[in-house]
Amino acid sequence: MTTNVIINRSAVRWLPSRHRFALAQLVAFARLRRGEPQDADGPDHLILPIDRDQSAAESYAVAVWVFLTVASYLVAVLPLPLPLAIFAAIPLASIVIHIPIVVGGLTLRLLLGDNDHVKIVSVGTMSLLIVWSFYVTHGDSWARIVAWLFFGVLACNAIAALILWLLRAEVQAEENQCAR
Amino acid sequence: MTQQPAWWHRFHARGVFWRQVLRFAILNTPPWLEPIAMASWSLFFLMWGTARRGVMRNLAVIKPGSFALVNFFRCYRVFWNYAWTIADNVRFKELRTIPDWEFTGWKYFEEMQERDGAILLTAHMGSYDLGAHLFSETSSRRIVMVRAPETDPETRAFEQGRAAEGLRIEFNTRSTDLAIDLLSIIRDGNIVAIQGDRVTGEIGFLPATVFGRPTRVPAGPFALALAARVPIYPVFVVRLGRRRYRLMTARPIELVRSQDRDDDFRRAVEQWVGELEHVIRDRWSQWFTFEPYWPELAA
């Protein structure tokens, strides 16, 4: 195997290093410390890779959060009655979210070649979302509540990152013990 | 001289353009936006009428008495699973990212690897490509995969140019030569993986009854097992969730040579169909058969 994998240890699912954002890492660390009862009806054999983007719950949660945030911003600016605006914002939000991927990906492909640009596009997309949210907080529409909520989640993530930094020795020890 | 397909063929559902788009997406989409991209593109591909109708017709047989509207939404689930599956496959090829793997029937899986040659019979479910890649990386045995080639020449060239290292793929178009090659591969103690749920192109077949309706399954794996005197292991790869798969190995099918060859085949096909039906019934949303499966449905 080319990737770092752990065999037959279901608790590995809760390794903080299998999560991307600090908030998710902190939740995973709490679950890891609490321990997980062995599932007698579980699979016969397990192969679990150590990859920061392996958590489904985290990925879906962030995707829903981003989608709802973008859709809310669009509902607020669309010159339509609320029910129609909501109806239109759902497909529009999906298209808008694709724009940084397509534009950023094509630009990076021209500049840097046909390689893996996920990290750059990821940082770029989140930066655009922060700028957009900052702009919305300065408006007078109801969407500014959503924007403040967005910054609230970012603040929670920053606090989680700080806690994880303070607990870094314990996290490392727990990870080593679990992955051993 | 072979005729070049028209330029717009690349935009057909099976055209190379969509493979290129998928590869581009894998190399540029942040993982935390993947679910949005998957949901959108699965919806987009519901416009592919031929495949949608094929899946819905098959679902009507798998789930008798079901409503067309319900099957339309079930069809979306099939497309959703397919989108994740092919994306995971490309991600493995391009970035070497592997998903979580769970195994059931581990004792049969180990037994298969300990044997001196075996046939792995699978279906168009989950990520059979990813499963074969996993197998080639974890097993000491060499695995050779037999599959139908892509129908579009440009797509075929694109996929062949990006095949993963260490995995040999044979196409079932040159049946006579291939049978001899595969026999030799098995006799050398290796494993041959074949998709045994549907007949594509001009290949030999055996009659079967799946979900109470007559159909055909490829004859090749059964004839090969009889010739090489090796068992057939039904193996299915199913998707459990995002980047999470289960590899299920069932009890092997032992073909015992008797006076009546047709009866030998019939018993083996019955056991295979039993396993296939069981898995499809439980995992209908992952059976990636986009054409009407039963000849009577196609007619």
Q: Using pLDDT thresholds of 50, 70 and 90, give the confidence band for residue B164.
A: low
CA atoms of B41 and B81, how far apart (whole Å): 11
What's chain A's length in residues?
A: 180
Q: Using pLDDT thresholds of 50, 70 and 90, give the confidence band for residue A5.
A: confident
Domain for residue B279, yes or no? Answer: yes
- Chain B residue at shortest CA distance from A92: B40
Flag whether residue A94 sits within 8 Å of chain B, measured between CB atoms: yes
Q: How far is CA B76 from the centre of its chain?
A: 19
pLDDT, residue B96, reads 86
* Other beta carbons less than 10 A from residue A33's beta carbon: 11
Flag whether residue B97 sits within 8 Å of chain A, measured between CB atoms: yes
Q: Using pLDDT thresholds of 50, 70 and 90, give the confidence band for residue B74.
A: very high
**Identity of the residue in A45, A54, A109 whose CB atom sits nearest the CB atom of B103:** A45
Range of weakest confidence among A62-76, A113-127, B162-176, B257-271: B162-176
The structure tokens 């981003």 sit at A66
- Chain B residue at shortest CA distance from A51: B97
Cβ within 8 Å of A, B 160-219: none
Residue to test with chain A: of B34, B100, B240, most A Cβ within 10 A: B100
Of the candidates B149, B217, B226, the one whose C-alpha atom is nearest the C-alpha of residue B186 is B226
pLDDT single digits (tens) B135-160? 777 777 888 888 777 777 777 777 77
pLDDT single digits (tens) B100-118? 999 999 999 989 988 889 9
Q: Using pLDDT thresholds of 50, 70 and 90, give the confidence band for residue B5.
A: confident
Residue to test with chain B: of A7, A65, A101, most B Cβ within 10 A: A101
CB distance A39 to A83 below 8 Å: no
State both tokens at B247.
């590899």
pLDDT, residue B286, reads 92
The mean pLDDT value for A85-93 works out to: 96
What 3-state class would DSSP assign to B249? strand
Q: B102 and A5: CB-CB below 8 Å?
A: no
pLDDT, residue B138, reads 72
If phi over 0 gives left and psi between -120 and 50 gives alpha, with beta otherwise, what is residue B207? beta
Q: Which domain holds residue B145?
A: 11-298
Å from A36 to nearest chain B CA? 17
The mean pLDDT value for B85-90 works out to: 92
Q: Using pLDDT thresholds of 50, 70 and 90, give the confidence band for residue B258.
A: confident
Flag whether residue A96 sits within 8 Å of chain B, measured between CB atoms: no
Within 8 A of B28 by CB-CB distance, chain A residues are 101, 104-105, 108, 117-118, 121
pLDDT of A156 higher than 90 = yes
pLDDT, residue A1, reads 46
CB distance A85 to A78 below 8 Å: yes
Residue to test with chain A: of B32, B94, B111, most A Cβ within 10 A: B32
Domain count for chain B, please give it: 1
Domain for residue B248, yes or no? Answer: yes
Å from B166 to nearest chain A CA? 12
- Chain B residue at shortest CA distance from A45: B103
Within 8 A of A2 by CB-CB distance, chain B residues are 96, 137
Task: Report ipTM for this prediction.
Answer: 0.91
Within 8 A of B35 by CB-CB distance, chain A residues are 59-60, 63-64
pLDDT single digits (tens) A38-61? 666 678 888 999 999 999 999 999
- Chain A residue at shortest CA distance from B94: A116
Flag whether residue B243 sits within 8 Å of chain A, measured between CB atoms: yes
pLDDT single digits (tens) A61-87? 999 999 999 999 999 999 999 999 999
pLDDT, residue B158, reads 76
Query: Percentage of chain A with pLDDT > 70?
Result: 94
Domain for residue B114, yes or no? Answer: yes
Query: How distant, in Å, are the alpha carbons of A93, B245, B249, B251 from that of B106?
Result: 44, 14, 7, 10
Å from B284 to nearest chain A CA? 21
Q: A115 and B27: CB-CB below 8 Å?
A: yes
Q: Using pLDDT thresholds of 50, 70 and 90, give the confidence band for residue A98.
A: very high
What residues contact B170, with CB distance under 8 A and at least 6 apart?
B144, B145, B146, B147, B178, B181, B182
Q: B27 and A118: CB-CB below 8 Å?
A: yes
Question: For all residues of chain A together, what is the average pLDDT?
Answer: 92
Domain for residue B233, yes or no? Answer: yes
What 3-state class would DSSP assign to B130? helix
Å from B297 to nearest chain A CA? 34
Q: Using pLDDT thresholds of 50, 70 and 90, give the confidence band for residue A36.
A: low
